[in-house]
Amino acid sequence: MSGYNQFCPMAKAMELLDERWTLLVVRELLLGSTHFNDLRRGVPKMSPALLSKRLKSLVRAGVVERTETDGRATYSLTPCGQDLAGAVEALTAWGVRWISDLGDADLDPHLLFWDIRRTIAIGDWPRSRTTVEFILGGVAAKASRWWLVVANGQAEVCDFDPGYEVTGTVETSLRVLTRIWRGDLGWSHAMHDGSVALSGPTEVRRAIPTWIGQGRAASVPRPA
């Protein structure tokens, strides 16, 4: 039985939305992803086949609109889909407040840096090309070095050396950086206890926490 067979509006909504990954796809669309590959970067552990299936379901339900230009598909939320913003925000806030445990399987540098890349306040960065290198502990060697490059009003993240001069370096563990980004831990506290080490000129070390900041969820108040 695929449905709940209840007249309750919540039950009817959940017949569509409680399929695995569906609300996370909606989250990615709300955050501005419009192309298939961008959506995949926001849900990196979701198979391409399943992502395609969920998008088709959302299009059939009138939640997502698919358009095609020059052979490239673009996905966007319809007014019906945009109306889910409040539900997604409420679930995010609830998760921040009440689900704080992070297992090793929850830590993903690819997803973390994708979210950092699309969230940082580029206006706070220098006008010239600026490259921050991250050296992460607690991950496989091939995923332990990342570069965040901001130039010409655009941010890019690389898991290979882009060849630019490094302005400053952040050395920490993937777990600590994830906790900072979620808002579970502040930059100043992490630097004070030594779980984060910043390298570079004095003005750069002072600026890096401001340049990177924290994710959207960091502003959610925690329980006392």
Residue 5: predicted pLDDT: 87
CB 36 within 8 A of CB 42: no
The yes-or-no verdict on residue 1 having pLDDT over 70 is no
Across residues 13-17, what is the average pLDDT? 92
Quick one: CA torsion of 77, 82, 86, 89, rounded to 10 degrees? 30
Token pair recorded at residue 148: 């965040």
Q: In this structure, which CATH number among 3.30.1050.10, 3.90.120.10, 3.90.1150.10, 1.10.287.110 belongs to the domain 104-212?
A: 3.30.1050.10
Q: What's the pTM value of the predicted model, to 2 decimals?
A: 0.90
What pLDDT, on a 0 to 100 scale, did the predictor assign at position 164?
97
pLDDT tens digits, one per residue of 119-170 = 999 999 999 999 999 999 999 999 999 999 999 999 999 999 999 999 999 9
Average pLDDT, the chain: 95
Domain boundary assignment for the chain:
9-98, 104-212
Q: How far apart are CA 69 and CA 185, in angstroms?
A: 43
- CATH architecture of the domain 9-98 equals Orthogonal Bundle (1.10)
4 band by pLDDT with thresholds 50, 70 and 90: confident
